Chain A
Amino acid sequence: MELIEHLGLGLEVALTPANLLYCFMGVVLGTLIGVLPGIGPVATISMLLPFTFHLPPTSALIMLAGIYYGAQYGGSTSAILVNLPGEASSVVTCLDGYAMARDGRAGHALAIAAIGSFFAGCVATLLLAAAAPPLAEFAVKFGAPEYFSLMVLGLVAAVVLAQGSLLKAVAMVVLGVLLGLVGMDTTTGDQRYTFGLPELSDGLGFVVVAMGLFGFAGIIASFDRPEDREILSRPLGRLLPGWKELKQASGAILRGTGIGSLLGVLPGGGAMLGSFASYMLEKRIAKDPSRFGKGAIEGVAGPESANNAGAQTSFIPMLTLGLPTNPVMALMVGAMMIQGIQPGPQVMSSQPELFWGMIASMWVGNLMLVLLNLPMIGLWVKLLSVRYRLLYPAILLFSVVGVYSLNSSVVEVFIAAGFGLLGYVLIRLGCEPAPLLLGLVLGPLLEDNFRRALTIARGDPSVFFTRPLSAGLLVAAILLLLAVVAPNVRNARDKAFQE
């Protein structure tokens, strides 16, 4: 079977000592920042990206991917023990996880979260390996009009699934696209919006922007709410759950894995959406919904499986279509481009070692995470006592040195600071920064494919609707937008985000 052959090749790559080490570093770092509130995977990956330049591409991507799914494991630890979501995707885990901890069942909650995450991670890895080849084969047939329409659909879906106001999210995407146009026009060679700065002629670096919007703005925003953190001093309780609890949780783990895998593929999805959806589903189908919020084990098992599954399946569109669906994937696209790899359907055939190595590394990484998290949970708990006031200067230090080292350019440090200011203002005005980053990464590709499509069609804009595939994608985008504007769907969406 081809699948086994592919995974075999991948394991060969992932199990080399060097890659094992980078995978390990990635998941440890991911767990670390997952446990610590106030720093998420986006800020961490943009912080570390500059330091991965000298690594071989496969090792760099293996490590960066490890940070993302590792953070999903770590996020549950602080959610359960301190009622503080280490990551946005663990918000719902707080509800029942913390309740379990107060009952003296913290150990069970942590174990179930880890077991669920591991199961979900294994399934999602297989899914990724199985779904990637046919999708990539399909996408190779895409021409410029199809790519343009696909990106429009991707951006629309990202906006629809984003939190908060739809209109503001659309505006943020457009703002991102516009910022993505800064620099030299690739077709004509003209400079645009560079203000005469040579640093801008290659465009705004996405790492610089991400660092400002997520790193710096995040640090400032963390001072909006005073730090108060109560470390659970109660004993963790027995770690390994009994049969009864495992059985109780197994359904939730399965459903969470399914729903998380599905939602992870969708643009705008990733880890967070799946965890919310899974919690709502568990609560709805439970015989006794009133148990939820008071320590229902399904309320931990489902969302924690879902966020890990989603974190991994969100790699599918990125790896096969070159389409980033969330800010982390946008950074992964950036990481590939820095390494001289153009993301897209051709990566799988032109760089099979990188492609399959990265996928196999996720399975290896998940195994490491279980081993890391269960026996060493005490260590991570201790980490929670590190105060943010001591942590953020270190984050700042790594960020500024990272930005500077990108191009040895002080100007980029200033630009990042500017985006920090913009990011904080946008957060305060209720504008999520994630769509902006997607727009920024896709902006130049959008323009390029728009142009090429119209050149092929001799300037006839109907090309986007006369090619069936392109038309289908655009119609899907329009339907999606209309569906959200429709009042009843809108209410359901608002309700979903409020819960």
Chain B
Amino acid sequence: MSNILGVPKDTAAGVLFMVVGAGALAIGADYRTGSLLHMGPGYFPRMMSALLLFLGAIVAILGLRHRRALPEAAPPWSWRAMATVLGGIVLFGFGLERFGLVASITALTLVSAYAEPRRGIIETLVLAVSMNAIAWLVFVLGLGMPLPLWPEAGGS
């Protein structure tokens, strides 16, 4: 799969650049530009945003032109890994200050472990316990980092 929804890879990349460039222009619309001598906070960002928009457009157009160049055999996107790895990280971030290190690491490991499709429940549980042990040994015992291990009383 060399493209998403039939859009060539380069064109998709170009559009992504254009969206960021245009977005940066829009968000920065009220940053003062100033003059070359007295540059406001908006001068350089505007220059860069416009440049990104321009480059994105060229990349996108060239991508369209080379559409039929060579069909690439790319492996499918790893949606499963994307969801589980990023989901695990977000769960960790969400839980750390509310439920403590142990609960967050367990959540991180249990979810991200299933990025690997062939994994049994036993292996996953062993993995979660080991990760907690490593974290306790390295971060708490070894480095003495002030991390909350358990949910704080009353919650915060």
Contacts and interface: CB of A to CB of B under 8 A. Distances in A.
Nearest to A54: B143
A116 B136 CA distance: 41
Contact of A429 (B12, B41, B49): B12
A451 interface: yes
B17 A192 contact: no
Interface residues of B, number: 66
Interface string A455-484: 100111100000000000000000000000
B75 A225 contact: yes
Interface stretch (A33-41, A106-114, A240-248, A390-398): A390-398
A346 to B, nearest CB: 25
Interface string A174-208: 11011001000101101011000000000000000
B112 A447 contact: no
A410 B12 CA distance: 31
Contacts of A451: 39, 44
B64 interface: no
Nearest to A167: B59
B55 A174 contact: yes
Interface in B90-148: 90, 92-94, 96-97, 105, 108-109, 112-113, 115-116, 119, 127, 131, 134-135, 139, 143, 145, 147
B39 A454 contact: yes
B37 A224 contact: no
Nearest to A194: B27
Nearest to A408: B146
B149 interface: no
Contact of A188 (B40, B49, B88): B40
Contacts of B108: 393, 396-397, 400
Contacts of B56: 171
A371 to B, nearest CB: 26
A32 to B, nearest CB: 15
Given A393-B112, A428-B77, A178 B48 contact: yes
Contacts of A392: 112, 115
A190 B85 contact: no
A171 B17 contact: yes
22 contacts: A171-B13, A171-B59, A188-B40, A190-B32, A220-B85, A223-B78, A389-B116, A389-B119, A390-B127, A392-B115, A393-B113, A394-B134, A397-B131, A400-B108, A401-B135, A404-B93, A410-B93, A420-B89, A431-B13, A454-B37, A454-B39, A459-B37
- Nearest 5 CB-CB pairings of A with B: A459-B37, A413-B93, A223-B81, A223-B78, A429-B13
Interface of B: 9-10, 12-14, 16-17, 20-21, 24, 27-28, 31-32, 35-41, 44-45, 48-49, 51-52, 55-56, 58-59, 62, 74-78, 80-82, 85-86, 88-90, 92-94, 96-97, 105, 108-109, 112-113, 115-116, 119, 127, 131, 134-135, 139, 143, 145, 147
